[in-house]
Amino acid sequence: MLETVQGEPPARPPAHALFVASNPALTVFVAKWLANRIKGGLGAQRKLLDRLHVMSAESARPRKVTIGTGNASNAIEVLALPSDTPARQYALVVLDEAHHACRDPVLLAAVLGRDWPLPHVRLNVTHFSVG
């Protein structure tokens, strides 16, 4: 995911990615993890996070991510996209802990109801529970 949003100029320009998880805290954790891997300060981190959207059961719509806008200089903030934002084609869609997301009918419909670039959809299922 980092390689997608960061890009590898000139061969592969930066692209947009969507990270989906049922748990909203997990989306914030992943955004912070990505930002912490970027050198160059808040400006470079914000530039990277501009290309990351997240979606969770809290709001089954893509949301933008930013860093350092409030009192804490490294706090991650998840914000609604403006209503006039056009639908984005993502180069990468990551559905983490799919076993949880698939139990949420609203989140599942939001993920399955989009026209994703299928070769780029990644499912990360950590384990399956039976019963």
Is the confidence at residue 108, as pLDDT, over 90? no
Q: What is the mean pLDDT of residues 98-114?
A: 74
Average pLDDT taken over every residue of the chain: 79
| pLDDT value of residue 119 | 45
> In terms of pLDDT, which residue wins out, 85 or 18?
18
> What's the pTM value of the predicted model, to 2 decimals?
0.79
Max avg pLDDT among 30-34, 73-77, 109-113, 115-119? 30-34
- What residues have CB less than 8 Å from 110, skipping those under 6 apart? 55, 60, 61
> In terms of pLDDT, which residue wins out, 1 or 131?
1
Is the confidence at residue 35, as pLDDT, over 50? yes
| pLDDT value of residue 11 | 66
**Banded model confidence at residue 59, pLDDT cuts 50, 70, 90:** confident
CB-based burial of residue 46 (10 Å sphere; 0-12 exposed, 13-18 middle, 19+ buried)?
Answer: middle
CA distance 29 to 50: 16
Locate 64 and state its tokens. Answer: 């933008």
Is the confidence at residue 131, as pLDDT, over 60? no
